[in-house]
Amino acid sequence: MIKNIILDLDSTVFDTHGLRRPYPDVHPMLKSLTAKHSFMLLTAGNTFAQWQKIKECDIVDYMAAIMVVKKPEDKEQALTSLIAAHHFLPENVAVVGDRVDIEIAYANKIGCTSVWIRRGKHTLKVPLSVEQKPTHTISSLAELGALLDLVV
């Protein structure tokens, strides 16, 4: 059963390539799921710029933890660290991200449920290996609640 959700920021929560603001489905999803799930945010990039986007999204109060790493490749170790620090079992964690080569591959590698949200600049990328194949695919965070209800 999925109890913990780790979200990516860019192109998952924050529209970095369109209107440069939080996606409209973020707050309704968080409000509807926080009673049953804990949330964390894992993002890569310039620390100051990422925190500006996080603040603009107004999601800090929903997050049990927020971690900003320098490069997308650093997310693998960060994901492992977040899960260990919070004493989560990987099978109880869903990682939601827009990149099959980063969030999806790393989630699969450590045994989490991977949820590929197909939006942003990586929408047309296709998995190039079994490791990059998502457990589930959605096009909006509004779909996440129904998906989690189906996952047992």
Q: Which long-range contacts (CB under 8 A, 24 or more apart) does 21-27 make?
A: 21/56, 22/56, 22/57, 22/58, 22/59, 23/119, 23/140, 23/141, 25/140, 25/141, 25/142, 26/57, 26/59, 26/141, 27/58, 27/59
pLDDT at position 19 is 80
pLDDT at position 152 is 61
Give me the residue spans of the domains in the chain.
4-147
This prediction has a pTM of 0.95
Q: What is the mean pLDDT of each run of 10 residues along the chain (152 residues)?
A: 96 89 96 96 97 96 97 96 96 97 97 95 88 97 94 70
Q: Which CATH architecture has domain 4-147?
A: 3-Layer(aba) Sandwich (3.40)
pLDDT at position 90 is 97
